[in-house]
Amino acid sequence: MINESALLESRSLRHSVLGRTDVLDRVKALSLLPDGMHVTTAMVAAYFEVGLEAIKSLVKDHRAELEASGYRLLTGEELRSFKDLSGFQSRTGSLALFSRRAVLNIAMLLRDSNVARQVRVYLLDMEYLARTQPVENSTPTEVLSLDDRIDQRITHILGKTVVPMFNALIETSGEHRRELIALRAGVQRIERRLRHHHARLQRLEAPLEERPLAGVMAAMDAMNSRKFEEHIATLLNRDGCTDVVVQGGPGDRGIDVIALTADGRRLVAQCKRFAPYISITSSDVQKFVGSAKVLYSADVALFVATCPFTSDALSIATDSGITAVDRALLEKWSAGEPLKVLGH
């Protein structure tokens, strides 16, 4: 499995996963310019929640790589044409544009950004799932039930209409036979790629029990709330807790899992399966403090989330004796590293 440090250091590895630009929107919504294809340096900085200089510095150090990924610096007539076609207004004499591939490339280079790290983790999780699931041949029935993000009608039309049309033309054409055969081959390649992509999406979004769980955040992101609570209960059992009960649901008063640690301390946990770009706020933690400490008199209180915590939320958690298990710590815990608070 490709690891994060190798991704940061290896240009060839970064290039091998540049096609997975969909992970950008899975981590955080990426706003585009009116042309629907590009973003500016300021927009890239805002997405990764860093200063402009951090992005400019990366461009300076990795200019050739980023240009190969779609980075462009427009000036003169090219800039004027872009403004006319896109409707984008700018008074500067130059404009740096990043394609979605270039933004993903930045995510694989930018070290000091929590958002960039989330993109890398999600990217590696998705690649891991894709690499570890066997390739299956899709039947017509399977194809019709695949993810609606790909318009299945395109595949159907290519296979059932366009290719037979080329076959008929080839049979009756003499002068352009070679060109028609080449075009038919191109259409068939596109059809195969669409079918392969359909199958890949189906593997990635298969039921959880068919996926490797340990260390794979993408699998947890695919869980519903109940499955996530059960996953946390499994981790607690693994780390020596007893009397583990999942009680999340209506009337749980903010406590999803209760248990006893290996040394007999009362433990409660709240489990939040949120998108990676959402943060746990101070008010979320304050509500949990009341339930954990007042209603349950817990010795150990875990607030487990698939997303980050705000700095205020972390401060309140520390002051109140709450253990905040954010996305990064949850990943390590799921991969086998025990939580220190559960130890003797």
How many Cβ atoms sit within 10 Å of the Cβ of residue 23? 22
Q: What is the mean pLDDT of the chain?
A: 78
Distances (CA, A) of 39 to 36, 44, 96: 9, 7, 8
Count the residues in the chain: 344
Q: Could you tell me whether strands 72-75 and 94-99 are parallel, antiparallel, or unpaired per DSSP bridges?
A: antiparallel
Query: Is 241:259 a contact under the CB 8 Å cutoff?
Result: yes
State the helix-helix crossing angle for 100-107 and 114-132, rounded to 10 degrees.
100
Q: How confident is the model at residue 99 (pLDDT cuts 50, 70, 90)?
A: very high
Looking at residue 212, its pLDDT comes to 38
Measured in degrees and rounded to the nearest 5, phi and psi for residue 243 equal 50, 40
Rounded to the nearest 5 degrees, what angle is found at the Cα of 94, between the Cα atoms of 102 and 87? 80
Question: Which of these ranges, 273-277, 324-328, 333-337, has the smallest mean pLDDT?
Answer: 273-277
State the helix-helix crossing angle for 163-172 and 177-204, rounded to 10 degrees.
170
How many Cβ atoms sit within 10 Å of the Cβ of residue 120? 26
The Cα–Cα gap between 304 and 323 comes to 8
Using a pLDDT cut of 70, give the percent of the chain over it. 73
Looking at residue 201, its pLDDT comes to 55
Average pLDDT (145-162) is 54
The Cα–Cα gap between 268 and 197 comes to 42
Q: How confident is the model at residue 90 (pLDDT cuts 50, 70, 90)?
A: low
Q: How confident is the model at residue 209 (pLDDT cuts 50, 70, 90)?
A: very low
CATH architecture of the domain with range 217-342: 3-Layer(aba) Sandwich (3.40)
Query: Is 100:33 a contact under the CB 8 Å cutoff?
Result: no
More confident residue, 172 or 199: 172
